[in-house]
A and B are shown apart, each in its own frame.
Chain A
């Protein structure tokens, strides 16, 4: 969404307020499409969960609440640092801006590391990766595979958004170090909206995938 550095206000706009509101609205509409993009998956998940609840519970109990919960905390922390980065950009404080962006990026990497390096690797080795390495033969095997597919696809799509987010963070850090945001904080704020949105998706994925139907012994 970032218009280029040349002028404070791009040529199609009258003033900075109009440009600011336009960019904000544009980003929110994009996020609305993202809601529907993930929404198709949530709809499919809801219907299958209704139809095959026991199988989905078995599948869910193979996931690690410890790592899922840790990742939730990691993302919430990254949201705080992102919000602080936006604040620094608004106030025109360059050094803390770069610092907060950097910490946000580190949290992002940490999330991805846990997701791929610990969880996915583990589930793959356990033979729970549908279509690639699925060796589970317990009760409801067919529908457990369906659950595991949704787990991999939804967390994978989310992780893809995280990777894009990390790319955006790196771009922002480079731009900020070149004083790009001394005059314009818009891009940081818009990127912040995206980052928080990805956080919200995870806030729903965590209970839906990891905590489904409770973790108490049945």
Chain B
């Protein structure tokens, strides 16, 4: 076990293990904590809450789409539902989920640090996050907003009488939370690494979190200022983006997607990092082509900043700019494919085992590949004119965001749950959950590819009757998917109370986070670890690792 940490014993009881969860009790100890592990839990509960809210909105949408005339709600309400779903899922669940829960918990542990570089800013960013979330919930409760998550002008600034201001304010504020988190992670990875932990000994999760943090820091300010402009245009009626007053609505799209597209990679990059960890751990092999996987994260981060125009092929964008954006959007497939191929190559000749986290990881690879390849379709200008704003796009990005990002998040949660809580969960039920989610997901979004090709536009409460069969299929799949998501809620809560003790390293995995107790002590390591070996050195030390 290398430098396995001895539990801190306060004098008498051998059984008593002092760790970050039981060191202090009470609400105040949690709300004022600067411990990155506790802040991770704060984020876990809040992002899970937002996931439920966003999921409910999606449920109502899918119920409504059972009937061509709209089974449940008025079109105005439907518009609000997809806005709530999109905004909450992107700004308040997907973007923060992996970085702030798994990233917060793991980055200091993986680099062998006692905490992140700026613990107080870490807590501050959570407070900013819940403030933003509360403001958005206010705009939902006080009547809702129906701009779509993209806040396109001049619709959002001139024509809608819903609560655009508070919603834009929420997005504006949430940007600062992400900026602080990203800044914290970058500095932590640079300055807080344990002795001997060189860049090429870092776990790949760290590399992809670094790339994602870079995007946080560089893209979030632009959305913040854009939202500020939207708010000011709405309040003072000056024509920043309104053509009637001399502005240009396409400029808004430029500014929005300059942030918006990198944002998509913020969602997927951390999950990609999780998958690299899972592939190595459950194949008992070093990730194939470590350097390529590491740098592909950076390539994705870099290219993500020069593809944004592919959202604007049909918005009077110059054809020359379109050619450039189209080519770059296809180029981003290359580093993504590098990752997928290397993950598959990692399994080759490894001793692969299929515990629940690995099932989620395999699901990720399949779904992400489908999502990525359909993205190449959409990157080609001619085809995009046909498919733009159809259900094909909806299916494509859900394959990336739900099939990719959430699968990765769940995989990571299952993998590190024993570390976070010190308890095991029932692996059987977790595998069932992974299976149900995979099947339910494909049933939900597979048909939407067909709907898109057949020409059903997105964001409508009603549709022609000939699309009904595929829509019912999609809604049925969504209910299966919901069951799949519900299961972890049950067995995770069960495991927190009744789960068997996990021990420091239940998977026999490599990595600094597994070399300390579960749950970890307050400062993560009793002795600052000294790293002398590469990441994922399963072959080198297989004889010393006790496989569970």
B58 CB to nearest A CB, Å: 31
Contacts A/B (CB < 8 Å), 10 sampled: A3-B120, A18-B191, A26-B117, A30-B183, A33-B183, A34-B221, A39-B221, A40-B229, A44-B229, A131-B237
CB distance from B171 to the nearest CB of A (A): 14
Flag the segment in B96-104, B203-211, B242-250 that touches A. Answer: B242-250
Which stretch (B108-116, B268-276, B287-295, B352-360) binds chain A?
A: B108-116
B179 partner, pick from A33, A48, A153, beta carbons under 8 A:
A33
Give which listed residue, B186, B222, B235, B247, contacts A29 with CB less than 8 A.
B186
A48 with B183: CB separation less than 8 A: no
Q: Using Cβ atoms and an 8 Å threshold, which residues of chain A touch B114?
A: 11-12
Q: Are A146 and B251 in contact (CB under 8 A)?
A: no
B418-443 to A contact mask, C-beta < 8 Å, 1/0: 00000000000000000000000000
**Cβ-defined contact, A29 with B187, below 8 A:** yes
Contact A149-B240, Cβ < 8 Å, known A18-B191, A44-B255:
yes
User: Within 8 Å of chain A (Cβ to Cβ): is B236?
Assistant: yes
User: How far in angstroms is the closest Cβ of chain B from A198?
Assistant: 15
Instruction: Assess whether A36 is in contact with B239, with CB atoms less than 8 Å apart.
Output: no
Is B220 part of the binding interface, using a Cβ–Cβ cutoff of 8 Å?
yes
Identify the closest chain B residue to A29 (Cβ): B183
State which residues 182-227 of B face A: CB under 8 Å: 183-184, 186-187, 190-192, 217-222, 224-226
Q: How far is it, in angstroms, between the C-alpha of A130 and the C-alpha of B235 when the chains are bound?
A: 11
Question: A146 to B192, Cβ gap below 8 A?
Answer: no
**Can you list, as one digit per residue, whether each of A42-70 has a CB less than 8 Å from chain B (1) or not (0)?**
01100110011000000000000000000
Contacts of A21 in B (CB 8 A): 191
Q: Judging by beta carbons under 8 Å apart, are B255 and A145 in contact?
A: no
With A51-B248, A153-B229 given, name 18 new contacts (CB 8 A).
A12-B114, A12-B116, A18-B191, A22-B117, A22-B191, A29-B183, A29-B186, A29-B217, A33-B179, A40-B226, A43-B254, A44-B251, A131-B232, A131-B237, A145-B246, A146-B238, A146-B239, A146-B245
Complex CA–CA separation, A51 to B248 (angstroms): 10
Q: Are A146 and B118 in contact (CB under 8 A)?
A: no
| A37 surroundings in chain B (CB, below 8 A) | 221-222, 224-225
**B68 adjacent to chain A (CB < 8 Å):** no
A14: B residues at CB distance < 8 A: 528
Residues of A within 8 A of B148 (CB): none
Given known contacts A22-B187, A37-B224, is B236 in contact with A130 (CB within 8 Å)? yes
| A91 at interface by CB-CB < 8 Å | no
Chain B, Cβ-Cβ closest to A130: B238
Shortest C-beta distance, B423 to chain A (Å), equals 27
Distance in angstroms from A3 CB to nearest chain B CB is: 8
Task: Report the minimal beta-carbon distance from B81 to chain A, rounded to whole angstroms.
Answer: 30
> For the complex, what is the distance from the CA of A14 to the CA of B195, rounded to whole Å?
11
Tell me which residues across on chain A come within 8 A of B117, comparing CB atoms.
Answer: 12, 22, 26
* A18–B117 alpha-carbon span in the complex (Å): 10
C-alpha spacing A186/B191, complex, angstroms: 16
Instruction: Tell me the nearest residue of chain A to B247, going by C-beta.
Output: A146
Residue B55 is within 8 A (CB to CB) of chain A in the complex: no
- Complex: how many Å from CA A99 to CA B305? 45
Task: Give the interface of B toward A (CB within 8 A).
Answer: 113-121, 179, 183-184, 186-187, 190-192, 217-222, 224-226, 229, 232, 235-240, 245-248, 251, 254-255, 258, 523, 528
Q: Is the CB of A131 within 8 A of B236?
A: yes
B245's partner among A29, A51, A145 (CB-CB below 8 A) is A145
Chain A, 59-84, CB within 8 A of any chain B CB: none
Query: In the complex, what residue of chain B is closest to A141 when comparing beta carbons?
Result: B246
CB closest chain-B residue, reference A153: B232
For B240, give its contact among A44, A52, A142 (CB under 8 Å). Answer: A44
CB atoms of B222 and A36 under 8 A apart = yes
A12 to B117, CA, bound (A): 7
| Residues of A with C-beta under 8 A to B232 | 131, 153
- Shortest CB–CB separation between residue B193 and chain A, in angstroms? 10
Tell me how far the C-beta of A116 lies from the nearest C-beta in chain B, rounded to whole angstroms: 18
Q: Which of A34, A47, A145 is the one whose CB lies under 8 Å from B238?
A: A145
Q: Is the CB of A131 within 8 A of B238?
A: yes
Q: Does chain B have a CB within 8 A of A41? A: yes
A25 interface contact, C-beta 8 A: yes
Q: B253 to chain A: closest CB distance in Å?
A: 12
Write out, one digit per residue, whether chain A residues 121-134 have a CB within 8 A of any chain B CB (1) or not (0).
00000000011100
Q: A41–B240 Cα gap in the complex (Å)?
A: 11
Q: With a CB–CB cut-off of 8 A, which chain B residues contact A30? A: 179, 183
**Nearest A residue to B113, CB-CB:** A12
**Chain A residues whose C-beta falls within 8 Å of the C-beta of B191 in the assembled complex:** 18, 21-22, 25
A164 beta carbon closer than 8 Å to chain B? no
CB neighbours (8 Å) of B239 from chain A are 142, 145-146
Instruction: With both chains docked as a complex, state the minimum distance between the C-beta of A174 and any C-beta of chain B, in angstroms.
Output: 19
Most buried by B among A36, A43, A47: A36
Chain A residues near B258 (CB-CB < 8 A)? 40
- Note all chain A residues with C-beta closer than 8 A to B184: 26
User: Chain A residues near B221 (CB, 8 Å)?
Assistant: 33-37, 39-40
